Amino acid sequence: MNNPFSVWNSKDGIPPSIYGALPAADSSTVPSLSFSFAPNPSLLNCTVVGPDNSPHFYVVTDPNMPNYTVFKAHDGKSIALIEWSQTPKVEIRGTVAKQAAATFLRLSSDQRFRIMQIAGQEYLWLPGQSTIALYPAGVAANSNTRLAQIARNQSGIVLDINRHAAQAGLLPACIVATVLLQCGRNFG
């Protein structure tokens, strides 16, 4: 006897729900989480407001130490640091060891996109007409494979991240990448 559910295939590695009793969710229908960057007065001093309209992260550049931008979680714990120097450096606690920002967001050889490596996996930040979108390397870039997207709107900068990508730990790296890509400073 054939399994009547075998016609349903798991898309993009998402496991089937309720042990195969229902079809797997298409990743294009997986709701994303929106994070808005509220500059105070700039992106290097801003509050990152989450989908529940409460602060989730703080980006702080102290005027007394302008060469350092600290990223803090809502509980005040430091999660990342950008050291602004001749060769800016990035560190993300537990994810990215201190390295040049130009290494963290490496420019492709054809200079068309940036490559970000997290936990041995490469991701591509591809610019579009009005967005910069994140995709896993080695797969076709489309709405089904998009993990995150940075966009500017009337109220500022918004990062939309796929729930699965956030749960996999990409959110802090995407927050730091958003600041690097949108702050206007040269990092290499």
Question: Tokens at residue 100, please?
Answer: 């040049």
Task: Give me the residues paired with residue 162 across strands.
Answer: 32
For residue 3, the model assigns a pLDDT of: 37
Report the first-to-last Cα separation within the chain, whole angstroms: 60
For residue 154, the model assigns a pLDDT of: 83
pLDDT above 70 (res 17) = no
pLDDT digits (tens, 9 = 90+) for 111-147: 999 999 999 999 999 999 999 999 999 999 898 999 9
pLDDT above 80 (res 24) = no
For residue 29, the model assigns a pLDDT of: 56
Q: Helices marked H in the chain — which ranges? A: 101-104, 163-167, 171-182
Please give the model's pTM, rounded to 2 decimal places: 0.83
Q: Are 100 and 89 in contact (CB under 8 A)?
A: yes
Q: Are 24 and 34 in contact (CB under 8 A)?
A: no
Which fold is adopted by the domain 31-182? Porin (2.40.160)
pLDDT digits (tens, 9 = 90+) for 69-89: 999 999 999 999 999 999 999
For residue 30, the model assigns a pLDDT of: 58
User: Which residues have a Cβ under 8 Å from the Cβ of 128 and sit 6 or more positions away?
Assistant: none
